[in-house]
Structure 1
Amino acid sequence: MLHIPGAWQRAARGAGLLSPAGELAPTIFAEITAAAVRHDAVNLGQGFPDEDGPPEVLDAAIAAIRDGVNQYPAGRGMPVLREAVSDHQHRFYGIDVDPEREILVTAGATEALTAALLALLDGPDDEVVVFEPYYDSYAAAVALAGARLVPVPLRWPSLEPDVDELRAAVRDRTRIILVNDPHNPTGTVFSNEVRDEIVRLAERHDALIVTDEVYEHLVMDADHVPLATLPGAAERTLTISSGGKTFRTTGWKVGWVSGPADLVDAVLAVKQYLTYVNGAPFQPAIAVGLGLPDTFFDDLAATQRERRDLLGAGLRDAGFEVSTPAGSYFTVADVRSMLAPGEDAAAFCRALPERVGVAAIPLTAFATPEHRDRYETLVRFAACKRTDVIAEAARRLAASAS
């Protein structure tokens, strides 16, 4: 048992990894991955691809290494990448951002999020509204900043927020509304009504908006709509994204944050004492990716749509109720039909690799401890593997019902 005082306890407790006795538990992701390896299961747990990215992007990284781009890059990020991000925002969304003052390159979106929360929160009087279930790093970062997390539930089966519950959550103590759209872990893409209400509430309560848009090019049935494009939002919004999901380079950890210069400067003030800089040869490679033709981005979404539908069919054949995602890698299913007496989603997922030969993550891993009963029969499956791998997982799931 650890008896070492420090901020790590806030982070671990916020992430739900610290027991009342002070024992640090492993993440459910580590448990499920180990079980998948032991039982040779198809791992639809963690959300990383099993394919390499486009050759133009990979070749650009190799060329940069060979050309000596191996030392510290500029603190704000290499100009070639900041300019590529600026061009990308204008090309896809009509957003104009200054690459010199309004863009900061980070060690993935997770660092951008953590640095932004640490920079903009100032203790227990500050509140952060999130949509629950939420990406697991959010709670840890808010806890590190000493602030309070205020969850707004996404209700099954639509996995959309209730606007009245959102209005009740945002108040004058709200410092940040943290928006993940497309959403991990549910695959939800927020409606225009929800987006408009987020901006209206932020204006009314003088709150900031921080958006996590790493799945922006994995919206399958519509176009992605950044909150920063809505009237009144740009001056109070930090937009975060990365190249990992779009270009299947999650291990490169190249992300960025864009927005008003004063907000970006605040994030830089913290970020420069975290990683300082990162990924020099990968930055020009991601810049190449951001400039790929429209057909690349269209094909990316079409491929993900095919895999989503394939996985969804297998889950339905297994007898599960399925919420069809509009974006991201993820599909959520209600597995109550396969639960043993007294079993919840977490126990189900721990047994699934051996029982069925497929690995998945319980949605309870993405919720505050006091709200986990809302999600006790819901499981997240990641459809970011090769199509033949998804097909095999779907076959195993369907066979488990026979």
Structure 2
Amino acid sequence: MIKDVETQPETRNKRSGMQDYLAAGARAIPPSGIRRFFDLVSASKDSSIISLGVGEPDFVTPWKYRDAAVYSLEKGKTQYTSNAGMPELREAIAEYLHGRFDVRYDPASEVLVTVGGSEAIDLAIRALIEPGDELLIPEPCYISYNPITTLGGGVPVGIETFAKDQFKLTAESLRAAITPRSKLLILCYPSNPTGAIMTYEDLLPIAKIVEENDLIVVSDEIYAELTYGSNHVSFASLPGMKDRTIVVSGFSKAFAMTGWRMGYACGHPDLIGAMLKIHQYTVMCAPIMGQVAALEALRNGMDEMYKMIESYNQRRRLVVQGFREIGLPCHEPQGAFYAFPCIEGTGLTSEEFASRLLTEAKVAAVPGHVFGKGGEGFIRCSYATSVAQLTEALERIGGFLNKLR
């Protein structure tokens, strides 16, 4: 008996290649523009290249932190920890944030230890975003926010900031970007890539708009300690903002622990609880060795941290003055360890400038356009390298500019 044609299984079109198996979100996101230049330098056999590309301290993790981790290994501490992190580390994080930034968190329910600050950002966005929700992202900005949003089905909405405003988010530009679908605001101050900061007075009107529009804020404060001339202000410390804010931070930058991948998130118990569930199913817990080192850093590592910060401040002044002297206008960064000089006057795009700078002057920098709106016409240069290397890099860049002229 012949079966009814309508009951036959639907014929599936054969995929033409492996790309067709990929999820649309994975196909849509671009490779990291920062890592591309880092990989070019890594793959090169030319030892004369000076890299100002990747934002990584040139300091080795201080001995105190390493010794604590080594000793823990010798004692056989190689097990899983609590999914949320070692209780004593969560307590130390809560004490640190209260003492430094006047924000109180319950370590049992409002602190989550993550695999770097990047995982904390990913967890926050995945826990809060549903398809079609809009994330408001001041740009130029750290490159991960947009692709993480896209992978979660959200819609990244860039808000351009400008050198004339010291790359600060203004209340006017935030209001203009809000729609009925706006749900989250990402803040990253001190800023990667611009080095901009936001003062208490700068943040107050932003907080008012957040409350009026019922937004949640993911405040990436990984560079909080690297603030020069004034103390960092945590967005969660503003009146009424603690429950609306997920603070993301970690140990990579100020504590010179990039490879340890130690971060954390703090916020309302309901938000942290949702993030914890995703964390449980993806990474289980952060590595215990890193947690031990991070605990030592908070308990006994402040002196080393302050020495590193003073060194960054010295380099910051050197680099900003150096760029201005060779003819590149440069906003003065008040935080992080990046300079963001303007290269518009050369007539080259940021991609062209960075590519030629690498091949002709053997200096690696990141083209500003990879950081989103407002980044074109700039390059990002990390000054987390030695004074000798920075001085040589500035001389090479000056020579490169002279050839262009």
TM-score, normalisation: structure 1: 0.90
Say which of 131, 139, 143 aligns to 2:146. Answer: 139
1:36 aligns with 2:41: yes
Shift of 1:12: 4.9
C-alpha distance in 2 between matches for 1:12 and 1:229: 39
1:375 aligns to what SS in structure 2?
Answer: coil
**Which range is displaced more, 219-228 or 315-324?**
315-324
Identity of aligned residues (%): 29
Deviates more, 1:144-153 or 1:293-302: 293-302
The gaps in structure 2 that reach 5 residues or longer are 1-16
1:170 aligns with 2:186: no
**Structure-1 separation of matches of 2:194 and 2:98:** 28
State the Cα distance separating 1:30 from its structure 2 match. 3.6
Pairing 1:189–2:197 present = yes
1:328 corresponds in structure 2 to 336
With over 3 angstroms needed to count, the CA separation of the structure-2 counterparts of 1:375 and 1:256, relative to structure 1, is closer
Task: Find the structure with the greater CA-based Rg.
Answer: 2
Distance 1:168 1:337 in 2: 30
Which amino acid in 1 is paired with 2:362? G
Distance in 2, matches of 1:113 and 1:31, equals 22
Residue identity opposite 2:19 in structure 1: H
Tell me what 1:89 maps to. 97
| 1:361 equivalent in alignment to 2:366 | yes
**Cα distance, 1:348–1:67 mapped onto 2, change above 3 Å:** same
Q: Is the 8 A contact 2:64 2:301 kept in 1?
A: no
Distance 1:314 1:364, change over 3 A: same
Q: Deviations over 1:259-282 (max 9, x none)?
A: 111110011111222212122111
For structure 1, the 5+ residue unaligned runs are 18-25
CA deviation vs aligned residue, 1:341-372 (integer Å, no higher than 9, x gap): xx3101211121221221100111111xxx4x
Matched residue, 2:380 = 380
**Cα deviations across residues 24-80 of structure 1 (Å, max 9, x unaligned)?**
xx4333432244353431100111122202221111111112111212111110112
Give the structure 2 partner of residue 311 of structure 1. 319
Aligned to 1:269: 277
Alpha-carbon offset, residue 199 of structure 1: 1.5
Other structure's SS at 2:283 match: coil
Residue in 1 that maps onto 2:137: 130
Q: Distance in 1 between matches of 2:387 and 2:125?
A: 37
Question: What is the CA–CA distance in structure 2 between the aligned matches of 1:327 and 1:100, rounded to whole Å?
Answer: 31
Shift of 1:187: 0.6
Contact (CA 8 Å) 1:220, 1:304: kept in 2 or not?
no
The residue that corresponds to 1:152 in the other structure is: 159
Cα displacement (A) at 1:84:
1.0
One-letter identity of the residue aligned with 2:56? F
Does the C-alpha gap of structure 1 residues 118 and 350 become closer, same or farther in structure 2, counting only changes over 3 Å? Answer: same
* 1:65-104 pair list within 5 angstroms: 65-104=73-112
User: Is the Cα–Cα contact under 8 Å of residues 350 and 376 in structure 2 kept in the other structure?
Assistant: yes
Give the C-alpha shift of residue 115 in structure 1. Answer: 0.8
> Is contact 2:210-2:216 (8 Å) kept?
yes
Residue of structure 1 in register with 2:12 after alignment? none
Q: How many residues align?
A: 382
Amino acid at match of 1:214: I
CA–CA separation in structure 2 for the residues paired with 1:4 and 1:401: 45
AA matched with 1:146: G
Q: 1:241 aligns with which of 223, 245, 249?
A: 249
Q: 1:23 maps to what in 2? A: none
SS at match of 2:103: coil
State the match for 1:392 in structure 2.
392
**Partner of residue 14, structure 2:** none
**Superimposed CA distance per residue, residues 283-332 of structure 1 (whole angstroms, 9 cap, x where no aligned partner):** 02111111236544433332111111112222223211111100001110
Distance in 2, Cα, partners of 1:91 & 1:161: 27
What is the identity, as a one-letter code, of the residue corresponding to 2:34?
A: F
Aligned position for 1:119: 127
Alignment of 1:252-263 (within 5 A): 252-263=260-271
Aligned to 1:4: 20
Deviations 1:161-194 (A, max 9, x none): 3321111123442211111111111111013343
Q: Which residue matches 1:62?
A: 70
The letter of the residue matching 1:128 is L
Is the 1:180–1:213 Cα contact (8 Å) retained in structure 2?
yes
In structure 2, distance between residues paired with 1:33 and 1:50: 15
Read off the aligned partner of 1:80 and give its amino acid letter: E
TM-superposed deviation, 1:223: 0.2
The 1-side partners of 2:320 and 2:18 are apart by 42
- Residue 21 of structure 1 aligns with which residue? none
Instruction: Report the Cα offset of residue 2 of structure 1.
Output: 4.8
